[in-house]
């Protein structure tokens, strides 16, 4: 199922207008006609068109006025001019209005078919190029998801298996665990990788604005709807649509989403015509949707439509072995963005990062590293540049007798190293190689930590 391209034909000769509209309708386009420039401008206010075919000389507003209005509205429509009064001046002016092609009367209908088809191809190509330019950095990040822990590797392996299918995916997990990055990873590995990845956060928009963003609207649908607008679902046609915090969607919008999943169609706000779309939906939530269903805040039928293939992004506290790699990644990336490159992270700072529980997950870690880079006075990020709550982690458990600062720091670090090595070995059944991998270290360095902590390997 595909979206029917919408075409507006503006021609004051009634027979020619009727003939063009009939021919284009046979090509399975959604075609509207206008016999005058003022009528065309009114239609542009109410609806977004993929292609506008207009004569230059019209009663009332001219074809140039129609094209200029189309441009001023911000519609990414492609203009085609058909006229029997072509001149260099009018052609140049039309080109400034974004005209794709220029055909003089009398014309061959087959040629019009070809020009319209090429114009639609050009429109889609421009949109794809614009999307690719905006997502170059994101695409690089998708290829470099930081996660060597078993928990994260399990999620990424499952994501790779579901990516080739067109299955709806539900991502669960706390805020800041990287659910959108996982969604982009699925898109990047899917057959839709060259199409749009469109994302919306349902929690940040009020109901009416969210409904308008998702489904679009016609002119006059609500106060402030001064012109027609395409919704994000329509923009995402043939691509992947990511809905974050879907548990916050209101019941009326849930009903419309259910129709999208069941029928692949919807109506714009205030509209009467169905819009068909071909999308792959990935939804995410930090809430328990089963609980929301029991409490009556989320539709059961929509939940089952979404929960075809579910994945859970683990919280950072459950994959501590990734903290060091993530911290160094953010140190490099944010250092480049801030124009302040640091040489590394001190052992004390790494110890504080690894000991903290990170309720805000990866997002909170990123913010802590950014703060540290800004405050850093030397070449290393030290524990003094980290948020105070990190240095307070584990006090009274790590309390030491009142003594000199250097001695206190040594005792705290020794205790952290001993606890860290003991816990990591226990999680890896005493296998040093696995424990070193989980800690993000090579085996020799991890064994040095063991010796310093007075811990012997149980390996034979």
pLDDT tens string, the chain, 460 residues long: the values are 346 788 999 998 898 899 899 999 998 888 999 999 999 998 888 888 888 998 888 888 888 888 888 877 776 788 888 776 555 566 566 666 667 877 777 777 888 888 888 888 776 665 555 555 445 444 434 446 788 788 898 999 999 999 999 999 999 999 999 999 999 999 999 999 888 899 999 988 777 788 888 998 887 877 777 677 888 998 899 999 999 999 999 999 999 999 999 999 999 888 888 889 999 999 999 999 999 999 999 999 999 999 999 999 999 998 988 898 899 989 999 999 999 989 889 888 888 898 889 999 999 999 999 999 999 988 889 988 999 888 655 433 444 444 455 665 666 677 777 777 877 887 777 888 888 887 777 888 888 888 887 787 666 4
Alpha carbons 247 and 249: distance in angstroms, whole number: 6
User: In CATH terms, are 6-131 and 318-453 the same topology?
Assistant: no
H-helix or E-strand spanning residue 79: strand 78-83
Q: Token pair 């057959």 is at which residue?
A: 191
CATH of domain 136-314: 3.40.50.300
Helices (H) then strands (E): counts for the chain: 20, 16
- Domain ranges in the chain are 6-131, 136-314, 318-453
DSSP, res 65 = H
Alpha carbons 144 and 242: distance in angstroms, whole number: 20
Please state which of the four CATH numbers 3.40.50.300, 3.40.50.970, 3.30.950.10, 3.40.50.2300 is assigned to the domain occupying 6-131. Answer: 3.40.50.2300
The reply to whether omega before 170 is within 30° of 0 (cis) is no
Please state which of the four CATH numbers 1.10.560.10, 3.30.450.20, 3.40.640.10, 1.10.8.60 is assigned to the domain occupying 318-453. Answer: 1.10.8.60
What the block records as the tokens of 374 is: 């800004």
Alpha carbons 309 and 8: distance in angstroms, whole number: 41
Question: What predicted TM-score, i.e. pTM, was given to this entire model?
Answer: 0.65
Strand partners, 33: 9
Alpha carbons 308 and 430: distance in angstroms, whole number: 38
């Amino acid at each position: 199922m595909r979206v029917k391209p919408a075409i507006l034909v503006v021609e004051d000769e009634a027979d020619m207008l009727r003939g063009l509209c009939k021919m284009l309708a046979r090509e399975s386009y959604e075609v509207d006609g206008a016999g005058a420039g003022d009528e065309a401008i009114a239609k542009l206010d109410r609806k977004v068109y993929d292609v506008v075919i207009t004569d230059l000389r019209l009663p009332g507003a001219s074809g140039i006025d129609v094209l200029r209005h189309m441009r001023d509205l911000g519609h990414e429509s492609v203009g085609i001019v058909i006229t029997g009064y072509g001149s260099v001046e009018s052609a140049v002016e039309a080109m400034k209005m974004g005209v794709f092609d220029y055909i003089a009367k009398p014309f061959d209908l087959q040629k019009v078919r070809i020009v319209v088809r090429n114009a639609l191809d050009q429109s889609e190509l421009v949109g794809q190029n614009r999307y690719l330019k905006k997502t170059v950095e994101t695409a690089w990040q998708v290829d470099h998801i930081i996660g060597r822990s078993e928990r994260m590797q399990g999620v990424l392996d499952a994501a790779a298996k579901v990516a080739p299918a067109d299955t709806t995916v539900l991502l669960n997990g706390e805020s800041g665990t990287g659910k959108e990055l996982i969604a982009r990873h699925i898109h990047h590995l899917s057959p839709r990788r060259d199409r749009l990845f469109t994302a919306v956060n349902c929690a940040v928009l009020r109901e009416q604005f969210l409904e308008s963003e998702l489904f679009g609207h016609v002119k006059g649908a609500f106060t402030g709807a001064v012109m027609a607008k395409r919704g994000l679902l329509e923009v995402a046609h043939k691509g992947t649509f990511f809905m974050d915090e879907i548990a916050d969607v209101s019941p009326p919008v849930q009903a419309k989403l259910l129709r999208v999943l069941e029928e692949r169609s919807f109506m714009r706000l205030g509209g009467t015509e169905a819009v068909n779309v071909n999308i792959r939906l990935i939804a995410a939530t930090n809430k328990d949707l089963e609980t929301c269903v029991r409490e009556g805040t989320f539709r059961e039928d929509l939940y089952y439509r979404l929960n075809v293939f579910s994945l859970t992004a683990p919280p950072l506290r459950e994959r501590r072995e990734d903290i060091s790699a993530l911290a160094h990644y953010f140190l490099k990336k944010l250092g480049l963005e801030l124009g302040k490159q640091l040489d590394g992270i001190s052992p004390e700072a790494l110890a504080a990062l690894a000991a903290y529980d990170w309720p805000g997950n990866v997002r909170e870690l990123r913010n802590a590293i950014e703060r540290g880079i800004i405050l850093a006075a030397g070449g290393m990020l030290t524990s003094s540049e980290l948020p105070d709550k990190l240095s307070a982690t584990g006090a009274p458990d790590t309390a030491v007798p009142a003594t000199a600062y250097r001695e206190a720091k040594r005792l705290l670090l020794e205790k952290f190293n001993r606890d860290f090595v003991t816990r990591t070995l226990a999680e890896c059944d005493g296998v040093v190689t696995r424990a070193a991998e989980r800690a993000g270290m090579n085996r020799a360095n991890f064994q040095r930590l063991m010796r310093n902590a007075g811990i012997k390997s149980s390996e034979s």
